[in-house]
Structure 1
Amino acid sequence: MAERKHITLVYQYNDDWIGGTYYIQNIIRALNLLADDTKPVLLVLHDMNSSVDVIKDFGYPYIAFLPISFKLELHKKLLNKFSRFIIGKKMFKLKLPDAAGKNVYPLASNMSNKNITNGYYWIPDFQEYYLPHFFSKLEVYTRKAINKEMANANYPIVFSSKTAAADFDKFYPGNKNKKRILSFTSFIDNRYKQIRLETLQQKFNITKPYFIVANQFWKHKNHFVVLKALLLLKEHFPKFQLVFTGKESDYRNPGFFSSIKKYIQENSLQDQVLSLGFIDRNEQLQLMANAVAIIQPSLFEGWGTVAEDAKALNQFILISNIPLHKEQVQENCLFFNPEDEHDLAKKMLLMLQNEKTITSINYTALQKQFAEQFIQLFDK
């Protein structure tokens, strides 16, 4: 048997961006679908605050864990702040331990690849160019500076979509970077089915057919268009509810969730809107699976976890017609203009009044394809 590849994964739990955490978990779950003789040996580098118990539960047979610190010394961090403004890049970067080996993913912008021969950085999207008003001026500058540094240094980069890869070439023309596209999949086992829907309905006071929006309360996720569509339908079709799940804070726009609550109160939508917060993943999945439809109103995505969840669940999704979503979703969907609540209301009414037809998707095949494409990143 050929020698197994050795691949190092960089893992940090971050509930401010839970999608990034699930991303690494799903790589490991995808690799576990491969034939045993093609499974690589994995080393997971993680910080002290990131529990790896959930990864251990996956039962991946060839895996080890190495806790490290991802923090630079204070004086180096301070010097980096000045050097980015003066020379356009950081003076100091984190050197990963030699145990990381040669195949590492994903390298972060604060990590050096000097001792890594086959490591990739990851850029999910270029939201700062399309929605700069949702960021502070400093964050826009920082994100652009990081990407420009990657372009100038010819770092190997993975993009989650063809859309993002095309954006990189658009915003950094003439770049010579080695570029790869790796579109991730979701992983959903049957544990969510063991939770009785009736139990969740009682727990969360769900008393009517419902739509679900499973996004963190970030401004670009565009929750308001769904509330405005609900308001249009309220007079004519009041017998349904709208369920929100997700962390109720946005570090970039701290007052955003308060504005959501204010809108709900001012328009007397309390009886139809439920915000459940950050709930158990399997409870969320059971609610998604039994909704009239999932709604994904986002103004921008890199490669959306919610859309992948809908595909994995064989559930219907009403989804904004941004270019990325059109690349990502082709079945069991209706697209709508994310700036037009009338368009969304019309699509919601169609779902409420008509029996939906679901096309079965062989999602396991997509998961295996994801695993194979990931391993191919590290071919010689």
Structure 2
Amino acid sequence: MEEEFAVTKNESTRVGFLLPLGYWVGGRNYLKNLFAAIRMLPGNPIVPVIFTGKRQGNNTEDFPGVEVIRTSMLDRRSPTAILRKGILKASGHDILLQKSLQKHGVSVLSHCIHPVYLGMRQRIKIIGWIADFQHVHLPELFTLEDRNHRDLEFKQICAQSDKIILSSACAYEDLRAFAPEHIDTAELLRFVASPTPLQGAASLPELQRLYTFTGPYFLLPNQFWAHKNHRVVISALQRLKSNREPLLVLAAGSPTDYRNSSFFSDLMKYALECDVLDCFRVLGQIPFDHLFGLMQHATAFINPSRFEGWSTSVEEAKSLGKQIVLSDIPVHREQAPPGGFFFPAEDPDALAKAMKAAHDRYDGVRDSALRTAAAAHFPTRQREFGETYLRIVEDTLGRKANEL
């Protein structure tokens, strides 16, 4: 089995992370924020190590400074991947992965979103990650096959993991109901999003020229998935426009929902019917420097989602000190953004009022002051995130802090 690697020699605990092909955007952003928090821990107690395939291009460019192991066993349908699958099926153990992890000095394999079978006598500990239980709360968005698959996979993750990370108290309670026999291994780790960098972000004039808009705007940085609830925003914009109080929403995100191939086209037909295509502007998947600029200059963010595990856009609003108009769902209340305007997720009239309130409250000087205050508080929030993760790793290994 061919591998390319560069091992950093130190006394730190080496923690592995699998980055398979097609790893979703939200998961990549999560890892980027986690690695940033780990870097700030004094004494360098944890060294993250990414394991990914050789044929997966620049899929690690979002993680500068993180050690990367490229191995063909993580390339789909490669000879080594086929061999790995055959050995796993025959033995019940992922022997090739275990040997690779041991070869590179990994003590813990973290944030596993699929079950990993390293055997009962494994020397490598496993920390599973269940991002959310959306299929339990919104079963209508999943096929029966998808729901059964998720049920089975989550049960297997629980059974094979030494610890299970949940991103919110809501998800923690969902696990208690879903698999009460595994609740003792659950750990709550609320992630914190790093503030977007001012340096290198696209300027407002440049963004206005590129995306042909003028004036104040709200930013909706969600993927176009059914549970993200863009439709209620379109309905709210229709009401605002009919009241001669039009507001502009810029929507940035991928237009593809694997569960519903017609979702985006149906949504845009609805926007056309509501006559708000001038108010609801879809930018699609845009470069990060453009997104950073849009975040900084927005009147407010919007997150109308019907369900979240732990919302990245809410955390980004908190880290930037931005206003955010968000659905009144339990996890958003748990995140408690200081600049939050809540509305019932299915109520476009309430959303329209919340957007108007955020628009009327916005002031550039106040926005700058809130950004400064959020930046001053961010290191404390990030340190708590990193320290909580360090404690989870310590507990998984049965060590105390001074032993790492």
TM-score (norm 1): 0.87
- Say whether residues 1:318 and 2:325 are aligned partners: yes
Which residue in 2 is equivalent to 1:11? 19
Amino acid in structure 2 at the alignment position of 1:226: V
| Preserved contact between residue 127 and residue 161 of structure 2 (Cα < 8 Å) | no
- The structure 2 residue matched to 1:99, chosen from 96, 103, 122, is 103
State how far apart, in whole Å, the 1-side matches of 2:84 and 2:159 are. Answer: 26
Residue 243 and residue 55 in structure 1: after superposition, are their counterparts in 2 closer, same or farther (change >3 A)?
closer
State how far apart, in whole Å, the 2-side matches of 1:75 and 1:7 are. Answer: 21
SS of the residue corresponding to residue 301 of structure 1 reads coil
| Preserved contact between residue 154 and residue 177 of structure 1 (Cα < 8 Å) | no
Residue 116 and residue 24 in structure 1: after superposition, are their counterparts in 2 closer, same or farther (change >3 A)?
farther
SS of the residue corresponding to residue 310 of structure 1 reads helix
Residue 42 and residue 364 in structure 1: after superposition, are their counterparts in 2 closer, same or farther (change >3 A)?
same
State how far apart, in whole Å, the 2-side matches of 1:44 and 1:322 are. Answer: 34
Residue 120 and residue 249 in structure 1: after superposition, are their counterparts in 2 closer, same or farther (change >3 A)?
same
Please state how far the C-alpha of 1:92 moved relative to its aligned partner.
Answer: 6.6
- The structure 2 residue matched to 1:41, chosen from 47, 52, 71, is 47
Amino acid in structure 2 at the alignment position of 1:109: H
SS of the residue corresponding to residue 33 of structure 2 reads helix
SS of the residue corresponding to residue 277 of structure 2 reads coil
- The structure 1 residue matched to 2:69, chosen from 52, 55, 66, is 66
198-207 vs 179-188, greater mean Cα deviation: 179-188
| Preserved contact between residue 163 and residue 185 of structure 2 (Cα < 8 Å) | yes
Which residue in 1 is equivalent to 2:237? 230
Please state how far the C-alpha of 1:219 moved relative to its aligned partner.
Answer: 0.2
State how far apart, in whole Å, the 2-side matches of 1:192 and 1:251 are. Answer: 35
| Preserved contact between residue 95 and residue 111 of structure 1 (Cα < 8 Å) | no
Residue 160 and residue 255 in structure 1: after superposition, are their counterparts in 2 closer, same or farther (change >3 A)?
same
Gapped runs of 5+ residues in structure 1? 81-89
334-343 vs 230-239, greater mean Cα deviation: 230-239
SS of the residue corresponding to residue 260 of structure 1 reads helix
Matches within 5 A, 1:203-352: 203-352=210-359
State how far apart, in whole Å, the 2-side matches of 1:233 and 1:189 are. Answer: 30
State how far apart, in whole Å, the 2-side matches of 1:197 and 1:370 are. Answer: 32
Residue 202 and residue 116 in structure 1: after superposition, are their counterparts in 2 closer, same or farther (change >3 A)?
farther
State how far apart, in whole Å, the 2-side matches of 1:261 and 1:73 are. Answer: 42
Please state how far the C-alpha of 1:354 moved relative to its aligned partner.
Answer: 3.1
| Preserved contact between residue 116 and residue 157 of structure 2 (Cα < 8 Å) | no
Which residue in 2 is equivalent to 1:367? 382
Residue 313 and residue 301 in structure 1: after superposition, are their counterparts in 2 closer, same or farther (change >3 A)?
same
State how far apart, in whole Å, the 1-side matches of 2:236 and 2:335 are. Answer: 24
Amino acid in structure 2 at the alignment position of 1:73: I
State how far apart, in whole Å, the 2-side matches of 1:373 and 1:217 are. Answer: 32
SS of the residue corresponding to residue 254 of structure 2 reads coil
- Say whether residues 1:173 and 2:180 are aligned partners: yes
TM-score (norm 2): 0.82
Residues 96-123 of structure 1: CA distance to partner in whole angstroms, max 9, x if unpaired?
A: 4223522111223242233353220100
Amino acid in structure 1 at the alignment position of 2:311: G
Please state how far the C-alpha of 1:205 moved relative to its aligned partner.
Answer: 1.0
Please state how far the C-alpha of 1:193 moved relative to its aligned partner.
Answer: 5.7
SS of the residue corresponding to residue 54 of structure 1 reads coil
253-262 vs 280-289, greater mean Cα deviation: 280-289
SS of the residue corresponding to residue 284 of structure 2 reads coil
RMSD over aligned Cα atoms = 2.6
Please state how far the C-alpha of 1:150 moved relative to its aligned partner.
Answer: 3.4
Please state how far the C-alpha of 1:285 moved relative to its aligned partner.
Answer: 2.0
Amino acid in structure 1 at the alignment position of 2:232: V
Residue 257 and residue 117 in structure 1: after superposition, are their counterparts in 2 closer, same or farther (change >3 A)?
same
Please state how far the C-alpha of 1:314 moved relative to its aligned partner.
Answer: 1.1
Please state how far the C-alpha of 1:344 moved relative to its aligned partner.
Answer: 0.6
Please state how far the C-alpha of 1:154 moved relative to its aligned partner.
Answer: 6.2
347-356 vs 122-131, greater mean Cα deviation: 347-356
286-295 vs 351-360, greater mean Cα deviation: 351-360
Which residue in 1 is equivalent to 2:140? 133
Of Structure 1 and Structure 2, the greater helix share is in 2
| Preserved contact between residue 191 and residue 282 of structure 1 (Cα < 8 Å) | no
| Preserved contact between residue 76 and residue 92 of structure 1 (Cα < 8 Å) | no
240-249 vs 63-72, greater mean Cα deviation: 63-72
Amino acid in structure 2 at the alignment position of 1:47: G
Which residue in 1 is equivalent to 2:7? none
State how far apart, in whole Å, the 1-side matches of 2:342 and 2:291 are. Answer: 23
Q: Across the two proteins, how many residue pairs are aligned to each other?
A: 364
Residue 266 and residue 150 in structure 1: after superposition, are their counterparts in 2 closer, same or farther (change >3 A)?
same
The alignment-based identity, stated in percent, is 28
| Preserved contact between residue 155 and residue 177 of structure 1 (Cα < 8 Å) | no
Please state how far the C-alpha of 1:282 moved relative to its aligned partner.
Answer: 2.1
Which residue in 1 is equivalent to 2:116? 111
- The structure 2 residue matched to 1:23, chosen from 23, 30, 35, is 30
State how far apart, in whole Å, the 2-side matches of 1:191 and 1:116 are. Answer: 44
- The structure 2 residue matched to 1:186, chosen from 179, 186, 193, is 193
